Amino acid sequence: MATTLNKTLPDLSKLEPLDGNNYKCWSHKLLVFFEQLEVDYVLFNEHPADVVSNTTNVADSSNITATVVADNAAKKKFEKDNKTIRGHLLNHMTNTLFDLCINYKSAKVIWDSLEKKYGADNAGEKKHVIEKWIKFQMVDDKPIMEQVHEYENLTADVLNEVMKMCEILQANVLLENFSPSWSDYMNQLKYTKKNLTLQELTSHMRTEEANCLKVKQKKGQKKGYVKKQNYFNKPEGQIQKSKGPCYVCGKIVHKDFQCNQRQGQSSKKGGKIPPQANLTESGDVITVVIVEANMVANKTDWILDTGASRHLCANKELFHDFEESTDGECVYMGNSTTVGVIGKGKVLLKLTFGKALALNNVLYVPSICRNLVSGALLKKAGLKLIFESNKIVISRGGDFVGKGYLNGGLFVLNIVQEITSNVSTSNSAYIAESIDL
């Protein structure tokens, strides 16, 4: 008894009162508390019965008296422990349940009645647990790990209802319920070859959340920093004005009024007007950012160029449909030069996993060294580009389309072969599931 009384009592101040919905957690916490006090036997045993002695021998009267004293001590201890447990049960429930259970003097009766009412195993409870697990959805206005722990608790409830579920399925269901802001991270995990368990996925998400918090803190520091401008001290030395590009040819070496490509400038000298970069009817400038030096031409590879405004092809044999260009259209290169467009047409590329990419209005420029796919036009057509780990993944609507790899500082698309079958479309890029060769 002395050992039990000297034990440090657990803190139950944060235990939520029983309202009928939290019975499982409430009962387990109280049961652990009673086990530490070594009084949990009251919940599972009946009150000790009186011992009736049939001995009539006077010589054994001392033994009969000793047995009765021992039973009285056990009965007193049971009654004391019963009051302790009954008090804790009544003090940790709502007023409505308190009014229902106050008339019960036995802690075991209160415990059994609550177990039958809220802890019974039935089909309705299983359906409710499964429904909560299926409808779980992550949001952006709550901490990520807090939502992950909530999902783990729901999964544990499903498993406790004697319904088996593999760990990979648990992780994949959580992966599909990511919030929209985590869509890029979700697609990245989808394309990994390794199947993650729920524990491994939770570890990955904890690391990703920490990285996101660091990025937000850095952005906040940059926004909060404002450089003070001195309005009184004049800058030392001569102020150098920035030289902007020429509005006619785009070069920085001269002004627009000095450009020999200005309209009417070359006609005065009797020469022909050289090709310009913006000769399209809509006035849009066709630009190519990629610049190569001392590189061997490879006119079969297709390079994904996010700075190119049009698809360009240097190999005429790759065109599915082709027509000659007679409007004198030119392409403005990244090294401040212009090259002529010979023609335009359609190119069909067969990607991995049976996907086909059709490029329309591809310009035929034989003077360039590489075939270029415009990243801007792909995104305009609804494709999503993900650059990571020296690779590029192309997807559309969450479905995998194709991939590429980094080679010589350029992202080269993984092309199986060019397709020559007839496909008709009006977009600059579209996806076909399969094409008969």
Q: What are 412-437's pLDDT values in tens digits? A: 988 876 555 444 444 455 554 433 32
Residue recorded with tokens 């050992």:
3
Boundary of a domain, candidates 119, 148, 165:
119
Render pLDDT for 75-114 as a digit per residue (tens, 0 to 9). 889 999 999 999 999 999 999 899 999 999 999 999 999 9
What pLDDT score was predicted for residue 111? 92
Neighbours of 56 (CB within 10 A): 8
* 243 assigned to some structural domain: no
Same domain for 167 and 109, yes or no, is: no
Alpha helix (H) ranges present in 6-94? 23-37, 61-91
In a domain, 294, yes or no: no
Range of the domain at 113: 22-52+64-119
Q: Is residue 101 part of a domain?
A: yes
Tell me if 228 is assigned to some domain. Answer: no
Residue 143, pLDDT score: 85
354: left (phi over 0), alpha (psi -120 to 50) or beta: left
Average pLDDT over residues 12-35: 86
Looking at 296-300, 383-387, 402-406, which range is the least confident one? 296-300
Same domain, residue pair 324 and 376 = yes
Q: Residue 27 falls within a domain, yes or no?
A: yes
Token code pair at residue 120: 């019974």
> Do 406 and 342 share a structural domain?
yes
Domain total in the chain = 3
Output the pLDDT for position 90: 92
pLDDT in tens, 194-241: 788 888 888 888 888 888 888 878 776 655 555 555 555 555 555 566
The lowest-confidence range among 13-27, 121-135, 416-430 is 416-430
Cα 131 vs. chain centroid, distance in angstroms?
A: 23
Residues 101 and 162 occupy one common structural domain = no
| Same domain? 30 vs 82 | yes
Average pLDDT, the chain: 75
Mean pLDDT along residues 161-170: 79
111 with 147, same domain? no
Query: What is the rounded end-to-end Cα distance, in angstroms, of the chain?
Result: 88
Based on the fold, state whether residues 39 and 92 are members of the same structural domain. yes
**% the chain with pLDDT above 70:** 70
For residues 148 and 112, membership in a common domain is answered with no
Question: Is 100 part of any domain?
Answer: yes
Cβ contacts of residue 213 below 8 Å, gap of 6+? none
Q: Which region among 22-36, 47-61, 102-116, 346-360 has the lowest average model confidence (pLDDT)? A: 47-61
Structure tokens at 296: 């061997």
CA distance 79 to 106: 9
Measured CA to CA, the distance from residue 428 to residue 7 in angstroms comes to: 78
